[in-house]
Amino acid sequence: MVEQERVRVVRCGGSELNFRRAVFSADSKYIFCVSGDFVKVYSTATEECVHILQGHRNLVTGIQLNPNNHLQLYSCSFDGTIKLWDYVDGILIKTFIVGHKLHALFTVARAEDSVFVTINKEKPDIFQLVSVKLPKSSSQEIESKELSFVLDYINQSPKYIAFGNEGEYVAAVRDFYLSVYFFKKKTTSRFTLSSSRNKKHAKNNFTCVACHPKEDCIATGHKDGKIRLWRNFDDDKKYTYTCLHWHHDMVMDLAFSVTGTSLLSGGRESVLVEWRDAAEKNKEFLPRLGATIEHISVSPAGDLFCTSHSDNKIIVIHRNLEASAVIQGLVKDSNIFTGLMIDPRTKALVLNGKPGHLQFYSLQSDKQLYNLDIVQQEYINDYGLIQIELTKAAFGCYGNWLATVEQRQEKETELELQMKLWMYNKKTQGFVLNTKVNMPHEDHITALCFCNAEKSENPTLVTASKDGHFKVWILTDDSDIYKKAVGWTCDFVVSFEEIVTIWDSETWELKCTFCQRAGKIRHLCFGRLTCSKYLLGATENGILCCWNLLSCALEWSAKLNVRVMEPDLNSENIAAISHSSMGSDLFVFKPSEPRPLYIQKNISREEVQWGVFVPRDVPESFTSEAYQWLNRSQFYFLTKSQSLLTLSTKSPEEKLTPTSKQLLAEESLPTTPFYFILGKHRQQQDEKLNAALENELVQLPLTENIPAISELLHTPAHVLPSASFLCSMFVNSLLLSKESKSAEEIPDDVDMEEEKERDDSDEENDFTEKVQDTDNTDLGEDIIHQLSKSEEKELRKFRKVDYSWITAL
């Protein structure tokens, strides 16, 4: 029991989604993106996370579909491994141990048993593109140290490397040159742009590269917003390039559509540009995507695009440039000025979201609920513009009132401040602006707080500012006007650099002043419930003080470099997070006694910026004394890199993978009209196969197949699945009818076809052929000399197929 109740730090949201290009599955149903140590599988239709592929021990740096089996996914990581996943079920198939830190991953259909990765060997800044041979073996973990060098001195990001024309060449860019390596010729050609310091060419740097899927054409993006299309680059002299220029700032990413007819580009303008036929005049735009486009990817089926944005979202876009879905993580783009708050109404976490917005994030479902547009001004994506920033926000105690402060400061003296007071309108279930106050203070507002005394029906807001004033805003009774009066509530304290002053809310008098020669006070909070006579302060130079308000004396002080101090609303506990070079430590204590209730060392390596207690819906019951503080509320904190962490007693297996207990429902969709056609066909084949295996040679009647085909052909188009799926089936049935002349060949033929179908339908590729294909080899060899070369090739493929079902028959 005690063992189980170990509290651990659990990452609970806000993971990064935009680190690398997202990858589509072959049927565009799923989208994969790297997210910290995991790979996440999202459904493009519902925006839901279907699976989390976990197994890497460090940051995942690249993912690619297995070109030979589109139901499998390769991923590489800083931990030096390449892993092969079955993404449909979320199962790890294999691990290849490479050993080096892997920075990027590329796969090429032509190179069947090897993948390309970026590593750095000697110097920290020099990266190499190497190909890794992935040996075939049935074991789960395979060492694959067989590296062959391809290109040197490249950039680490995968955006700077592209494979073109089905893997005939690879293009890599860095700084001012483009190098192209041809695999057949094994030569490298290099093209350099002028990098002179004068204004015209100063921003010629390459920023990204993409290769045309069919033709010999390379598109490169540049820092000045130009896109260059390179042709004839197999010749060092005759090469040409054309320029496309629309972006006014750096081109962040480029992608060709599947057919290569159009090129997609995006950048800081947050506009997706589609260049049709590589011509400057044929442009289509999808504007207002919200934030800088970091990556663009195209689904292999060609019907969807997706863009990853700097505010941690992925937008799925239809072929006709219409956004269809948004996968949004915790918005990370801006600095978190507001800190973490809890909306008392929805129990959602509230913090800075998109620029000028407050985001409401549901902790239960780990999803963003919505962004509340506070500033209500068009956001212009441009470098160097000083935007209006949402700096402070506070909720009234029942969530009826919301106060926000926005500021914009261009120069030292030109501070623009605006405070808005929003009232929650129950009738329309939304916030309505009640009062707007321009320049509430003459200087930056440092704190904003609603009076949280429950008895007071009049909301009272206090703002403190750097100008040395604090103001109390109260709701006047006549109408919806706020009026200013000076004064303060018992429960509130104003601290100046070194001095703490306490004001009475009833008489608006200065009650007492604490002076501590200890340095600037960073945090202040009152004890709650039974400890409400205590006041706690944390100073900048690492001292935590506790004053007794009744005796006006310093109760105790402790040497602790407190970064975050948060009181729990449901209990007397206060959590303080200290930071040192070793990491951040968490202390939970009651103000009445200086001894902490609970200490957790090293909750994160980075500095913790904000923390908040979230009251639990259903109280938990931890029996052990050390964890009782977690019974009524849960503690969440946000680190500097903006990952949201929490403390949980559940083991990670329990929290994330209930596989052992999970009940799984099988998929069975029996009754589409199309199924009847194909199903009949398959059942027939199954029967035949059985017969064949029992060596009952049955003449396959030619005519029997023809109705099936004709039925297939006469089925109305709207009930047919995609042509690509039908095609192989259709061709197979044709093959069968033609080749089933000799009775002896029938079993093998049918066998083969069955396998082919399997291969098509589930792409079961187990690499365990050595064991299983023994009983088929004698049959297979019989045919080989009779079959054409292409068929031979196909047959070889089938060897890899799982034949275990045969033994089961």
Residues 6+ apart with CB under 8 A from 178: 171, 172, 190, 191, 192, 206, 209, 218, 220, 230, 233
Which member of 148, 335, 365, 377 binds another protein (CB under 8 A)?
365
125 or 378: CB nearest another protein: 378
Quick one: which of 776, 763, 752, 765 has its CA closest to 800? 765
| CA gap 85, 96 in Å, rounded | 12
The least distance separating another protein from the CB of residue 580, rounded to whole angstroms, comes to 34
Closer residue to another protein (CB): 353 or 567 = 353
With CB under 8 A as the contact rule, which of the stretches 89-97, 146-154, 521-529, 684-692 interacts with another protein? Answer: 89-97
Q: Measured from the CB of residue 3, what is the shortest distance to another protein in angstroms? A: 21
10 Å CB burial of residue 708 (0-12, 13-18, 19+) is middle
State in angstroms the smallest separation of the CB of 2 from another protein.
Answer: 23
CB 795 to another protein: min, Å: 22
Q: In this chain, which of 202, 386, 453, 485 binds another protein, going by CB under 8 A?
A: 485
Q: Are 218 and 263 in contact (CB under 8 A)?
A: no
Instruction: Kindly tell me which of 648 and 705 has the beta carbon lying closer to another protein.
Output: 648
Residue number, 594 or 673, with CB nearest to another protein: 673
Considering only residues 242 to 301 of the shown chain, the ones binding another protein according to CB under 8 A are 290
Kindly state whether residue 734 participates in binding another protein, applying the rule CB under 8 A: no
Residues 558-617 that bind another protein (CB under 8 A): 617
Q: Which CB sits closer to another protein, 89 or 694?
A: 89
When the beta carbons of 66 and 328 are compared against another protein, the nearer one is: 328
Minimum CB separation of residue 493 from another protein in Å reads 21
CA distance 444 to 801: 69
Least distance from another protein to the Cβ atom of residue 392, Å: 17
User: What distances in angstroms separate CA 525 from CA 5, 113, 449, 535, 552, one per listed residue?
Assistant: 30, 62, 12, 6, 15
Burial of 331 (0-12, 13-18, 19+ CB in 10 A): buried
**Which CB atom, from 53 or from 588, has the smaller least distance to another protein?**
53
The answer to whether the CB of 162 falls within 8 A of the CB of 107 is: no
Burial pattern 562-588, b for ≥16 Cβ within 10 A else e, equals bbbbbbbbbbbbbbbbbbeeeebbbbb
Site for another protein in 92-151 (CB under 8 A): 92-93, 140
Q: Where would I find the H helices in 536-636?
A: none
Question: Shortest approach of another protein to residue 424 CB, angstroms?
Answer: 9
Which CB atom, from 415 or from 709, has the smaller least distance to another protein?
Answer: 415
Which residues between 408 and 467 bind another protein (CB under 8 A)?
A: 413, 422, 425-440, 442
Q: Choose the binding region for another protein from 48-56, 565-573, 682-690, 741-749 (rule: CB under 8 A).
A: 48-56
The structure tokens listed for 8 are 């651990």
C-alpha 43/C-alpha 665 separation (Å) is 18
CA-nearest of 453, 543, 527, 465 to 490 is: 453
Q: Using the structure block, give the residue that is written with the tokens 């590489």.
A: 76
Residue from the set 51, 590, 681, 756 that interacts with another protein by CB under 8 A: 51
| Burial classification of residue 246, based on how many CB atoms lie within 10 Å of its CB (0-12 exposed, 13-18 middle, 19 or more buried) | middle
Q: What is the DSSP string of 596-660?
A: -SEEEEEEESS-EEEEEEEE-SS-----SGGGGGGSSEEEEEEETT--EEEEE-S-HHHHH--TT
Interaction pattern, residues 511-550, with another protein; x per rule: CB under 8 A? ----------------------------------------
CA gap 392, 389 in Å, rounded: 9
CB neighbour class for 308 (10 Å; exposed up to 12, middle 13-18, buried from 19)? buried
Which of 9, 10, 26, 50 touches another protein (CB under 8 A)? Answer: 50
Closer Cβ to another protein, 365 or 641, answer by number: 365
320 binds another protein, rule: CB under 8 A: no
321 in the Ramachandran plot: left (φ > 0), alpha (ψ -120 to 50) or beta? Answer: left
Report in angstroms how near the CB of residue 334 gets to another protein at its nearest: 15
Among positions 18, 156, 328, 732, the unique one binding another protein when judged by CB under 8 A: 328
657-677 burial: b if 16+ Cβ within 10 Å, else e: eeeeeeeeeeeeeeeeeeeeb
**Residue 442: partners with Cβ closer than 8 Å, 6 or more residues away:** 465, 467, 469
CB of 805 to another protein, least distance (A): 9
Distance CA 123, CA 581 (A): 27
Among 370, 725, 730, 767, binds another protein (CB under 8 A): 370
Least distance (Å) from another protein to the CB of residue 454?
12
C-beta closer to another protein: residue 201 or 444: 444
Report how far residue 575's alpha carbon sits from residue 590's, in angstroms, rounded to the nearest whole number: 9
CA atoms of 324 and 389, how far apart (whole Å): 29
What Å distances lie between residue 63 and 39, 49, 105, 200, 659, CA to CA?
8, 17, 6, 38, 24
Q: Is the CB of 207 or the CB of 328 nearer to another protein?
A: 328
CA distance 150 to 128: 7
Q: Which stretch binds another protein (CB under 8 A): 99-107, 219-227, 301-309, 359-367?
A: 359-367
**Cβ 402 to another protein, closest distance in Å?**
9
Task: Return the residues of window 646-675 that contact another protein according to CB under 8 A.
Answer: 654-659, 661-672
Q: How many C-beta atoms lie closer than 10 Å to residue 153's C-beta?
A: 15
Rounded Cα distance, 607 and 639, in Å: 6
- The number of residues in the chain equals 809
Of 337-356, binders to another protein (CB under 8 A) are 345-346, 348, 354
How far apart CA 118 and CA 189 sit, in angstroms, is 20
Q: Which one of 482, 622, 674, 725 is in contact with another protein (CB under 8 A)?
A: 482
Binding-site member from 18, 371, 381, 539 for another protein (CB under 8 A): 371
Euclidean distance between CA atoms 573 and 598, whole angstroms: 10
| Out of 6, 57, 89, 248, the residue judged to bind another protein by CB under 8 A | 89
Closest CA to 500 of 486, 485, 509, 510: 510
Q: Which of 22, 350, 374, 449 binds another protein (CB under 8 A)?
A: 374
With CB under 8 A as the rule, give the number of residues binding another protein. Answer: 94
In whole angstroms, the minimum distance from the beta carbon of 43 to another protein comes to 5
Shortest approach of another protein to residue 695 CB, angstroms? 27
CB of 194 to another protein, least distance (A): 42
Backbone angles phi, psi at 90, to 5 degrees: 70, 40
Which CB, 187 or 476, lies closer to another protein? 476
Helix (H, G, I), strand (E, B) or coil at 91: strand
Task: Considering the complex, state which of residue 668 and residue 699 has its C-beta at the smaller distance from another protein.
Answer: 668
Binds another protein (CB under 8 A): choice among 480, 686, 694, 782 = 480
**Closest CB to another protein among 264 and 372?**
372
Smaller CB separation from another protein, 100 or 345: 345
Of 127-135, 473-481, 541-549, 575-583, the window that binds another protein (rule: CB under 8 A) is 473-481
Residue 509 vs 781, nearer CB to another protein: 509
User: What residues contact residue 459 under an 8 Å CB cut-off, 6+ apart?
Assistant: 396, 400, 401, 450, 451, 474, 475
Asked if residue 61 lies in contact with residue 67, where contact means CB atoms within 8 angstroms, the answer is: no
Binds another protein by CB under 8 A, chosen from 4, 198, 320, 364: 364
Nearer to another protein, 149 or 285 (CB): 285
Q: Which of 271, 326, 336, 720 binds another protein (CB under 8 A)?
A: 326
- For residues 750 to 789, the per-residue mask of contacts with another protein, x marking binding by CB under 8 A and - elsewhere, is ------------x-x-------------------------
